[in-house]
A and B are shown apart, each in its own frame.
Chain A
Amino acid sequence: MSDSHAIAIAGHDSGHEVGHGEHPAYQRHHFVSMEQQNETVSFGMWLFLLTEIMFFGGLFTAYLIYRNWYFPAFVAASHTLNLAEGTINTFVLISSSFTMAMGVWCAETKRSKGLIWSLIGTLILGGIFLGIKYDEYHEKYELHHIPGELFHFNAQGFVHPSAEAIKLGEKPLAPDMAAKTEVYFSLYFAMTGMHALHMIIGMALLSGMLWKASRGGYMNGHIAFVENFGLYWHFVDIVWIFLFPLLYLISRHA
């Protein structure tokens, strides 16, 4: 049955007097039940997340194709990333996903204090992630690894690796291949940058949620926003779960 039909029927028996008040105030009138509304809300959120997966999928595909074409350049450029900071960031982001999952549970079971502390924890861990990411970007800046005007000076570093780099197994690249390290760094900044942008948007939403939760919000059972934000935050975590091995790990022995 279509929704328009449902509204017409509701209007016919003068809707609000008949049987009204049997549903929570936050249930929209075009839904039969809260179960249907909840299902619809998370269904819509998942459709949005699937478009996000397709978006990042384009970046992943570009990365894999260019890695195949300019393999030696991608291997050499990957070796310049800071593995320790990348690993710590993975742990930090997984922890923030856990605190967010706990936040959703606290909202579901109406634990106000628990929800507030979970959101604070998630916000802090997100901040730590971005702080470490900033440090990594800064290192790239100092090494002139940021694509653009200053980059070509640095490509020389891949043609003539330092003595200690050679000792670690680094192979010198031909000048034309060394120039292709810029493609790696372009994709590195595009992928981690889009991921960081998603985290910044997420932390803005988190702050709003925390503000509302600290004023007793989400304790009446209407927690669709918390649940959907949880889905978003876990999605951002999943993107990093794939970015980390692709950018940092898979070229270490190549």
Chain B
Amino acid sequence: MSEKYLDHDPNSGHSENEPHIVGPGTYAIIFVCLLIGTAITVGASFLEMGPWNPVVALAIACAKATLVVLFFMHIKYSSKLMKLTVGAGVFTFLILVGMSLSDYISRAWGQW
């Protein structure tokens, strides 16, 4: 390795890049949370909540997906670059879906 890189030690002052091994204890807790989340979302679908049924179902799905991304996919323990990449991806996704849907919803606005 060239001396050029002596001041480029990735471990100096980059504690966020240190590999972090997520252990079975954490995985087990998240696993149980996901099982409970599934049970709750199925249970909630039997309740009559009117327009809130889809909202509750999607909120629980988002919570479960967040747990999977943060812990099973290690994003909680990843570098800022990875966090930003995932965040930017989700943000772009929400823009694409959100703006498509708002277009369809507002096309006939006031004409009903």
CB pair A91 B38 closer than 8 Å:
yes
Q: What 1/0 flags go to A212-254 for Cβ under 8 Å of B?
A: 0000000000000000001100110110011011101110111
CB pair A94 B31 closer than 8 Å:
yes
Q: What 1/0 flags go to B41-67 for Cβ under 8 Å of A?
A: 110111111100110011011001100
B35, B57, B89, B105: the one within 8 Å of A249 (CB): B57
B106 within 8 A of A: no
A19 within 8 A of B: yes
29 A-B pairs with C-beta separation under 8 A: A6-B2, A13-B2, A35-B17, A42-B78, A46-B86, A46-B89, A47-B85, A50-B89, A57-B97, A64-B97, A65-B100, A65-B101, A91-B35, A94-B34, A94-B35, A95-B31, A98-B72, A105-B22, A105-B23, A234-B69, A237-B72, A241-B64, A245-B54, A250-B45, A250-B57, A252-B45, A253-B47, A253-B49, A254-B53
Q: Which residues of A contact B93 (CB under 8 A)?
A: 50, 53-54, 57
Q: In the docked arrangement, what's the CA distance between A32 and B11, Å?
A: 11
A39, A61, A97: the one within 8 Å of B79 (CB): A39
CB pair B100 A61 closer than 8 Å:
yes
Main secondary structure of the interface of A (DSSP, over half): helix
Tell whether A109 pairs with B81 under 8 Å between CB atoms, given A102-B27, A250-B54.
no
CB pair A241 B45 closer than 8 Å:
no
Q: What 1/0 flags go to A43-81 for Cβ under 8 Å of B?
A: 100110010011001001100110010000000000000
CB pair A238 B19 closer than 8 Å:
no
A38 within 8 A of B: yes
Q: In the docked arrangement, what's the CA distance between A61 and B99, Å?
A: 10
Smallest CB-CB separation from A239: which chain B residue? B65
Q: Which residues of A contact B68 (CB under 8 A)?
A: 97, 234, 237-238, 241
Smallest CB-CB separation from A66: which chain B residue? B104
Q: Which residues of B contact A254 (CB under 8 A)?
A: 53
Query: How many of chain A's residues have a CB under 8 angstroms from any CB in B?
Result: 59
Q: Which residues of A contact B42 (CB under 8 A)?
A: 83, 87, 249
Main secondary structure of the interface of B (DSSP, over half): helix
Tell whether A32 pairs with B79 under 8 Å between CB atoms, given A60-B97, A234-B68, A245-B61.
no
Q: In the docked arrangement, what's the CA distance between A238 and B14, Å?
A: 30
A22 within 8 A of B: yes
A108 within 8 A of B: yes
A39, A95, A253: the one within 8 Å of B53 (CB): A253
Q: Which residues of B contact A60 (CB under 8 A)?
A: 97
Q: In the docked arrangement, what's the CA distance between A43 and B85, Å?
A: 8
Q: Which residues of A contact B2 (CB under 8 A)?
A: 6, 9-10, 12-13
Q: Which residues of B contact A109 (CB under 8 A)?
A: 21
CB pair B21 A19 closer than 8 Å:
no
